[in-house]
Structure 1
Amino acid sequence: MTPPPPETVRVLIVGTGGMANAHAEAYAAMEGVELVGGVDRNPENLHSFNARHGITHAFDSVIDALQWGAFDAVSNVTPDAVHFPTTMPLLSAGKHVLCEKPLAVNYAEAAQMADAARRAGVVNMINLTYRNVPAVMEAARLVESGAIGAVRHFEASYLQSWLTQPAWGRWNEEAQWLWRLSRKHGSLGVLGDVGVHILDFATFVAGADTAQMSCRLRTFDKAPGGRIGEYDLDANDSATLQVQLAGGAVGVIHASRMASGHLNDLRLRIFGTKGGLDVRWENNQSILRACLGADLTSAAWQDMPVPPVETNYVRFIKAVRAGQDVRPDFARGAVLQQALDAAVESDMDACRDVAVG
């Protein structure tokens, strides 16, 4: 592992779109963390972002930023297709990287990123933000402890409605949304944007990776000719998956941007030989309920306490300071990318069952 930097951790933000503000605000709230530079090919976005967050250095490429070099750690908040070409030079230069999800657009690139991070000995983390949810972390601990016995069945969903209402902005007018609907602009659709989250949500809690799956992806008509300006609206809007885990459990996972009535809701119901758990992130509330032990015969579900957890941003900076590994890392991102690739392969071949890996 690369030695830790000085007490003050200097952070570079690569990609200055909407999500970058969440990264910048999280770092700004930490003592001993300094936002020192921004990178973006769009000068208007870059300078507006830097001004908003008091950042003094601006670069139009990662290579230019590396030539300057006065930073220790990086948040990569670029679109999906840009993760690989922007992250690889950073790893080669020995920089610690927190990268947005999905790690890449295919397993080959994700595996290269994970291998490069391992060889560089740097802190590497994928920003699976629902690891910040206390109910998720406590549910994973309970499953690992054997509280629900052997996992046998699960159902999981990630539901959004930003294509049916304007609460998050007008998707048909704003570039920050339109690129997410266009494969040419690097989007993997709902499968890559939120499907990766719910795959991690389910398999992390279950303690087992995806072994095989079948998948159906659907893109809906959203504009005349399927196009708005430079954006072809051809990325998938809904995904349904039939999944078998490495441990033998089976389940269903679905995700959609067309789920009217749900702004940003995740749910997992997971059942084992000794009990079940209901894990939710709904209306920004972390909820965990369980049916265990004597409650099984009456099917009574109890609210469970959930200890607070540190955010990915905090854990990333702590790992950088300590020179220690942190999870979820790039290797986890590559495992999830295998499942995403299998889902795309299944959909392209009449939804047949596909082995993962």
Structure 2
Amino acid sequence: MKQIGVGMIGCGGIALQNHLPGLALCPEAKLVALCDTNAEVLQKAVQQTGISAAFTNYLDMLNREEVNAVIIATPNFTHAPIALAAINAGKHVLCEKPIAMNFAESKAMLDAAEKAGVRHMTAFTYRFVPAMRYMAHMVKSGFIGEPYHFRSCRLQDWGTRAVGWRQIAKLAGTGELGDMLSHRIDYAHLLVGPMTRLVADMRRYHDVRDGQVSDLEDWVAIMAEFQRNHATGVLESSKVATGRGESGKSQDYCEVNGTEGTLVFQLERPLELQISKKGETSLHTVPVPTEFLKWPGSKRDPHAGDPIMTFRYDQDMEFIQAIVQQRPCVPSFLEGAQAQAVMDATVVSTNEKRWVNIEQVR
């Protein structure tokens, strides 16, 4: 079978740390082109990959016949125009989250991709954590019964350090909401299902980061109601949780309580869950079964490398497998649009200080 030619649009840290190692594990795929508007970043990627087909304009890349699919890892404001151009060119698309600046853009991306018949995927990376995969399985199998509560808490300490384009509204749309809480919104959808309404608040504690203006929030919290069983949800995310650290070693906590049991996930322990059943009075720890340690079909050795990093590579395997098998990606632009609808409602609720109904994608 002919290899799938992949073009990387945006060659910064996420592309080099997450997507390149993931593609390297996919024998059906081959990285064939690179694109970045920053010549220095592009040159670094060229040196690291040995790929000579390098572009500063994504339209030039999309004209290349050998490019069958693209991975978009650029600032948020460029996601929709790049994705729509790629779809129009008949390319399959994996896009970093949040996939758009607002719900209308995300819905346009979803509709265009489905009309064109191309594969489309949202990079909700943390769905691929073994413990989260097992947690979703346990919920689906009925372990917790009907859900009562969902809660997530993502705490990091960035202090007044700059976060680049992510602190600029015209480039990112939202701050902590889109950067970190979007993943936890997806947790909620994966485990409990659609939210129907919410009330939220966002705060910015630092107007300047490393001498650079910041006009986006660095803390956000949501209280929500779900369609299923009228379950409740509480989601919080912060970049100013002093002393909490950063990345995979900082707190990323998710819990679901139901009529029959409770499940607890923590990113720093990606290969285990804490569980409790009705009648018990405390949680106990269980290992993730072997079949959930990697994505089905993944060539990755689940026992090699840092488990807080290596699960990320499976999302690229899923993207390529979906193209080969001509089936929908998981998660797709549908899940990206569903998360964007919640994000839009969060912004409205914060600005208008009221409960807001969440627009449903379908």
Q: Secondary structure at the match of 2:349?
A: helix
> Equivalent of 1:40, from 36, 41, 49?
36
Question: What pairs with 1:27-176 in structure 2 (closer than 5 Å)?
Answer: 27-163=23-159, 171-172=161-162
Question: 1:286 & 1:238 partners in 2: Cα distance?
Answer: 28
Match of 1:17 in 2: 12
Match of 2:204 in 1: 219
Residue identity opposite 1:104 in structure 2:
A
Q: Does 1:189 align with 2:172?
A: no
TM-score normalized with structure 2 length: 0.88
- Distance (Å, rounded) in 2 between the aligned partners of 1:302 and 1:162: 32
Please list the CA deviations of residues 129-150 of structure 1 after superposition, one character each: whole Å capped at 9, or x if unmatched.
Answer: 0011111111111111111111
Matched, 1:302 2:284: yes
Q: Tell me, yes or no, if the aligned pair for 2:271 and 2:287 is still in contact at 8 Å.
A: no
Pair 1:290 & 2:286 matched: no
2:164 alignment counterpart = 178
24 and 298 in structure 1: CA distance in 2 versus 1, 3 angstrom threshold:
closer
> Following the alignment from structure 1 to structure 2, what is the Cα–Cα distance between the partners of residues 107 and 333?
9
Q: Which amino acid aligns with 1:353?
A: W
Match of 1:256 in 2: 238
Distance 1:227 1:189, change over 3 A: same
RMSD over aligned Cα atoms: 1.6
Which residue is 2:357 aligned to?
A: 355
> Is 1:239 aligned to 2:239, yes or no?
no
Q: Following TM superposition, by how much is the alpha carbon of 1:227 offset from its aligned partner in structure 2, in angstroms?
A: 8.1
In the superposition, relative to structure 1, how do residues 139 and 285 fare at CA in structure 2: closer, same or farther (>3 Å)?
Answer: closer
CA drift at 1:69: 2.8
Task: Give 1:25 deviation, angstroms.
Answer: 2.2
State the alpha-carbon separation in 1 of the partners of residues 316 and 337 from structure 2. 20
CA separation in 1, counterparts of 2:280 and 2:195?
Answer: 32
Q: Does 1:323 align with 2:335?
A: no
Instruction: Report the Cα offset of residue 187 of structure 1.
Output: 4.4
Q: Distance in 2 between matches of 1:332 and 1:59?
A: 30
Q: How many residues align?
A: 332
How far apart, in 2, do the equivalents of 1:268 and 1:67 lie? 43
The AA in structure 2 aligned to 1:334 is A
Q: TM-score scaled to structure 1, two decimals?
A: 0.89
Structure 2 residue 342 is matched with structure 1 residue 339: yes
What is the CA–CA distance in structure 1 between the aligned matches of 2:25 and 2:140, rounded to whole Å? 33
5+ unaligned residues in a row in structure 1: which ranges? 1-5, 165-170
Hey, what's the Cα distance between the residues in 2 that align with 1:331 and 1:298? 38
- Which of 182, 190, 195 pairs up with 1:210? 195
Q: How far, CA to CA, are the matches of 1:150 and 1:195 in structure 2?
A: 24
Alpha-carbon distance change, 279 to 144 in structure 1, aligned in 2, over 3 angstroms: same
CA distance in 2, matches of 1:340, 1:186: 13
How far does residue 189 in structure 1 lie from its aligned partner after superposition?
A: 0.2
Q: State whether residues 11 and 35 of structure 1, in contact with CA within 8 Å, keep that contact through their aligned partners in structure 2.
A: yes
SS at match of 2:169: coil
Partner Cα separation in structure 2 for residue 195 and residue 131 of structure 1: 13
Unaligned regions of 5+ residues in structure 2, if any? 296-313
Find the aligned partners of 2:129 and 2:220 in 1 and give their Cα distance.
Answer: 23
Q: Which amino acid aligns with 2:244?
A: G
